[in-house]
Structure formats: C-alpha cells, structure tokens
C-alpha cells in the first residue's frame, strides 16, 4: 500500500482528461473483485481453502524474488502482472485513491501513451529493485505501489505548487492545505524512516515505494527539463479526505 499515514490529496485542477488513469483503476478493481482476496468469488471456497487459494494466486501473479532470479523464464513477467494484484480491500482502495488523485494531472501532462508506458515501466523497475534487494525472499510481492509512487515523484516535479489537503494524525487530523513540494517529500521521508524500522517478512514494501518515487522524479526531470513545470491554479474547496 502507498501510505501508512493519513493523508488525502485532492485534485487542484478540474476538467482533466485522463482515460488511462481511470482504465488502470477499473482494471485493478475488476481483477481484485474476481480474485480470491475479495471474497466475492465462491469458487475459491472458504476458510483454509480460500487461504490456500490466495497464497497460490499471489505466488502465481506476484513477484517472488527467489523465483524471479532462479526460477523459470516466465517469472520475468511477474513484476508487470503484480502491478494489477492487491492483497486486501484496504490495499486496493488506498492505492487507487492515490492513483485517482495524482494520476489524472500527470496523465494530462504526459499524454495517454507516455503515461501508460511510464506507469508500467516504473512500476516494473520498482518491484524489480525490491526483488534485487531481497533476492532470497520467498514472500510474494503484489500491488501498484511502486508505479503509483513513480506518479507521485513525477507529480512533484511537474506540479510542485499544486495544493493538496492532508490529514496528519499528530495534528489531531486537522486538514491542512499544503503545496505538493511539502506533502510529497514528507511522504517520501516517512517511507525512508519506515524502511529502517520495517521487520523482516511480509509487510509493506517501502523500498519499492522509494525506488518508484525516485524513478518518477528522475524521469520527469530528464524528460521535461527545467522550466516546463506547470503552475497550478488556485484550488477550490476539497472534495473530502479518507486515506486508509
């Protein structure tokens, strides 16, 4: 999942056209609903049978670092398929919220084809980077976090002044309107701190978040160069806040 702190950014520009962002969200939601993690498909069974089906499903479509580097050739595709698999409703909704909020403006700036290739390419490399750092792990890694982190990195470069609404727990969830250049580096710093404290074994892949964020920021800097950042217009009132 993208975040482990309570924040929601609201789009500051209205009227954006982002068909690929919405398509990616729809595909992820559809795959999740049809898969064993949603609990909506009776054919996977219940109880132990469902748990076994989930483990097999994540292992088949997710990234298993040990298999990626020492397994069959088809494992090279798993960093791409894992981008569309999520482990729980919270995992799915948290990621899709961030993609909805930040993806639309990034897609409008990049264009449909470039944004799609950027999303999948950076997501693949983020999961590959995590797998390389944990090459002997047998744990399955799934989720769009690496790709969405790349979108956050690109957004930071392209729209540094765009204001987002954040709910910070240590400020009693008081909503604050802050520019992206404050919110997103703060988010990245939290991922870095969490990486140092994360236990071994299953959990949030903070390293994939950081790799994706760096890739996205670097891509936007190289691709668009200095002086092409978009200045966001003053934002209307926020639509709401609810980040898992």
Active site residues: 145, 209
Cα separations in angstroms, 243 against 65, 90, 156: 29, 9, 19
3-class SS string, 150-206: HHHHHHHHHCCCCEEEEEEHHHCCEEEEEEHHHHHHHHHHHHHHHHHHCCCCCCCCH
Report the C-alpha gap between 121 and 79 in whole angstroms.
Answer: 10
* Inter-axis angle of helices 19-34 and 112-133, nearest 10: 50
What 8-state DSSP symbol labels residue 76? G
Report the C-alpha gap between 118 and 192 in whole angstroms.
Answer: 23
């Amino acid at each position: 999942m993208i975040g482990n702190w309570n924040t929601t950014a609201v789009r500051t520009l209205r009227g954006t056209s982002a068909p690929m962002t919405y398509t990616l969200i729809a595909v992820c939601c559809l795959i999740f609903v049809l898969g064993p993690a949603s609990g909506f498909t009776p054919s996977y069974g219940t109880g132990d049978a469902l748990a076994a089906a989930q483990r097999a499903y994540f292992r088949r479509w997710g990234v298993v670092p040990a298999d990626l580097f020492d397994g069959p050739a088809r494992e090279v595709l798993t960093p791409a398929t894992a981008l569309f698999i999520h482990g729980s409703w919270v995992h799915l909704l948290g990621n899709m919220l961030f993609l909805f909020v930040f993806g639309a403006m990034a897609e409008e700036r990049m264009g449909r084809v470039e944004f799609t290739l950027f999303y999948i390419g950076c997501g693949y490399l983020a999961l590959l980077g995590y797998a390389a750092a944990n090459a002997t792990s047998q744990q399955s890694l799934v989720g769009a976090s690496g790709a969405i982190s790349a979108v956050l990195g690109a957004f930071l470069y392209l729209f540094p002044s765009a204001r987002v609404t954040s709910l910070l727990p240590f400020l009693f969830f008081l909503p604050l309107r802050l520019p992206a250049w404050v919110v997103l580096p703060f988010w990245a710093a939290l991922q870095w701190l969490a990486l140092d404290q994360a236990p071994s074994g299953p959990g949030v892949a903070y390293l994939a978040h950081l790799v994706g964020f760096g890739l996205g920021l670097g891509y936007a800097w190289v691709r668009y160069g200095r002086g092409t950042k978009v200045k966001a217009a003053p934002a209307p009132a926020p639509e709401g806040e609810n980040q898992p």
